[in-house]
Every structure is written in structure tokens, then in C-alpha cells.
Structure 1
Amino acid sequence: MSRPQCPRCCRPLERCLCALIPQLHSRTRLLILQHPSEVKHALNTARLAALGLCNGELRVGEVFEDLPALLAQPGYRACLLFPGEGAQALAHYAEQVGEQPLLLVVPDGTWRKARKLLHCNPLLAALPRVTLAAGLQSRYRLRKAPMPGALSTIEAIACALDILEAPQRFDALLQPFEALIEGQIDAMGEQTYRRNHLGEHLDS
């Protein structure tokens, strides 16, 4: 029998994260497009990010029929947070746009699934692409990043907003993410974590 879940954060009730999820305001609007394979993922940081941002929206799917309307937000200029040919540093792109706030579109999924979202939605692939600084390190200590600088979705969003909304900071967005990681470490046991993920050889 499955454990009862919180209908908001979708975590087991005894590990509900809602008390840690902030309500943060931003001029930047976030549109997170989540591949369906991520919905049941143990982390699902895209959902935590959307819940923590007053100006954020999460959509789940492979083909988004209403994408033209989603991208045509009055007063916003849309761009895609995803590496690729011609991608600009986010800070540089924001300077070019000037005072106009951004609609930051963030695909959520493995790299392969995210590329599939772009393939299935040509409007996404046509957006100007922006990237974060190289060399960023993920706080997710339980999995090796697939490539240098790879972040979870919620980490990438927090970093992007730190740039776009400076001097405002969005560290609070990561509080439920940190609690999720600590909960996973507790569940496996400290010694198992240190042995398997830190490479430590502990005396018995």
C-alpha cells in the first residue's frame, strides 16, 4: 500500500516539505516545461521551484499545444535556459533586453528528454538561448553530475534569478531541496552515505 502523500508538494505526509517552501516574488516570470518522465521522480525539484515562486508556472507534457499563448506574455521577452549554439550568458542577454523583464523558459528532464522537448516544440528551439556561468557545482550530493556545471532544475532557477533580480537573493528557494537531500541521507544512514558517496573507508 502506498503511503499517503501531501497533495501540494507530493511528498509522503511524514516528510512534507510545504513548511519550507517560500513564496518569493520576482519581476522575471518562470515557465517550467516538465517532461512527463520527471513527475514521479524522487526529487522533482521543478515542482518545488514552481511552488516557491509567485511568478512561476509548471506545465507537464511533451507537446505543448498552447505554447504560443504561454510565450506571448504581454510585457515579457521570452528566452530559453538551455545550452546550445549561439547561447549567451544570461547576464549579458539581460543587459541587451534592458528594463524589459524576461520570461525564462526552463525545460525539466534529463538532457535527452529536454532535447526531445525542444524537438517536439519548434517554438522552444527558436527562442534565444541563455546559459549560466561555467563551473557551477550542484548541491545534490547523492548523484554525480552528468557533466561539469550541471545543476538540478531548482538550482539553475535560483542561480538565474540571483543574476536577474540582484541584489535580491533566492537562497530560500533551495531550502526544501536541501531538506530533501538530508532526508535521503538519513534514510540510507550516515555511514552508507559517507562510504558510497564520499568515498570514505570507515573503521568498523
Structure 2
Amino acid sequence: MSRIQCQRCLRPQTHCLCPLIPSLDSRTRVLLLQHPSEVNHALNTARLAALGLTNAELIVGEVFEDLPALLNQPGYRARLLFPGEDAQPMQACAATDEPLLLVVPDGTWRKARKMLHLNPLLAALPRVTLAEGGVSRYRLRKAPGPGALSTVEAIVQALETLEAPTSFAPLLKPFEALIEGQIAAMGEEVYQRNHSEK
């Protein structure tokens, strides 16, 4: 017997996050390109980000046929949030008048790289990166390296850099509730044994 699911946040109705999801406006337009394997992930943070931002869009796929139209948004400069040798720091984009269309691939690093490989137009976009040293609140899995953030955390950091002094911290409320719920479901003892810092 399956549990009734909230059609908006895709969580079980008993753990619906909608009351915690804000409705934040941003000058920056956020385009989230989500790998299909992430859709049913328990911690679908890209969906939380898209629901919490009025100027955001979430598209699921591996190959994006309508990418030219998605990237050609009048009044916006498209930038890919992804590391690379020629990536500019996010702060460099904050100083300009023209707002960004921030393109954010959502998936494991391997799957995100595959999405770039399958979509040459995406791979060709100028890249931007976040400041180093970001610490993830994602306490349920070990980060692959320092500064590895969940999708929603990366978006919050990017927007707070681009649109300072505006705070986008309310986007993290449903994310934190989700993590607290997962910890509660596994029990404190299991969490301490498997996830707490040694």
C-alpha cells in the first residue's frame, strides 16, 4: 500500500513540506536541469529550490531539445553553475547590470558531466563557480570534497552573492526539515553510528 503523496512537493502527505516552502522573488532567473534519476530521490533539493523561487524553472531530462529557446531569455546573460578551468567566480557577475540566467545541472557529478556532454550548447556556456569553503548542512551523506553543496544550498549561496544583501536563507527551511525528518526516521542511535563526525 503506497502512501498518499503531496502533488506539489512530492513528499508523503504526512510529511508535506509545502508550509515551509517560501515564495521568493529574485532578479536572477534560475534554470534547473535535473537528471531523471534525481526526481524520486528522497532529498530532491532542486525541486525545493524551484518551488521556493518565483523566477525559477525545473526541467527534467538528459538531452534538452529546446535548450536554445531556454537559454535565449531576453534581458538575461546565461551562465552555467559548474566548475571548470575557465570558470569565473560568482562575485565577478554580481557587479554587472544585466541579470543572469543561472543554469544549474542537478545530479551526481558524473551525471551532471554526462548532461554537459550530451548537450554541447550547455557545455559551451560561460561557467561560474561559488566561493570556496562552503559548508553543507546535508548531514546525511559525506560530501565528495570540501565545498560540495546540495543543489538548493548552491543556489542560495549563488543568489546571496549575486543579489546581496538580500537573504535567500528561507529556501533552506524545507531542506533542513527534510534532513531532520530523515534523521528522526532512522533514529538517533543509527544516525550517530553512521553519520555523525567521528
Instruction: State how far apart, in whole Å, the 2-side matches of 1:173 and 1:78 are.
Output: 22
Q: Which secondary structure state, in structure 2, belongs to the residue aligned with residue 174 of structure 1?
A: helix
User: Which residues in structure 2 correspond to 1:90-101 (within 5 Å)?
Assistant: 90-95=90-95, 98-101=96-99
SS in 1 for 2:128: strand
Aligned residues: 198
Stretches (4+) displaced over 3 A: none
Give the corresponding residue for 1:154: 152
Alignment equivalent of 1:135, drawn from 133, 140, 163:
133
Counterpart position of 2:107: 109
Paired position in structure 2 for 1:50: 50
Q: Deviations over 1:184-203 (max 9, x none)?
A: 01001112212221156xxx
Q: What's the counterpart of residue 25 of structure 2?
A: 25
TM-score by length of 2: 0.98
Distance in structure 1 (CA, Å) of the matches to 2:135 and 2:197? 18
3-state SS of paired residue (1:74):
coil
Matching of residue 82 in structure 1 with residue 105 in structure 2: no
Question: Cα offset for 1:80?
Answer: 0.2
User: Aligned AA for 1:107?
Assistant: P
Instruction: Report if aligned partners of 2:160, 2:167 keep a CA contact under 8 Å in 1.
Output: yes
Question: Over residues 127-161 of structure 1, what are the superposed CA-to-partner deviations in whole Å (9 max), with x where a residue is unaligned?
Answer: 11000011111000010001111000000000000
Q: Distance in 1 between matches of 2:139 and 2:166?
A: 26
Query: TM-score with structure 1 length normalisation?
Result: 0.95
CA separation in 2, counterparts of 1:195 and 1:113? 30
Cα displacement string for residues 86-134 of structure 1 (whole angstroms, at most 9, x for unaligned residues): 0010111332xx1000000000000000001100111111111000011
After superposition, the CA RMSD in angstroms is 0.9
SS of alignment partner, residue 139 of structure 1: coil
Indicate the percent of aligned positions where both proteins have the same amino acid.
75
Mark the structure with the bigger radius of gyration. Answer: 1
Structure 1: runs of 5 or more not aligned: none
Stretches of structure 2 lacking an aligned partner (at least 5 in a row): none
User: Hey, what does 1:187 align to over in structure 2?
Assistant: 185
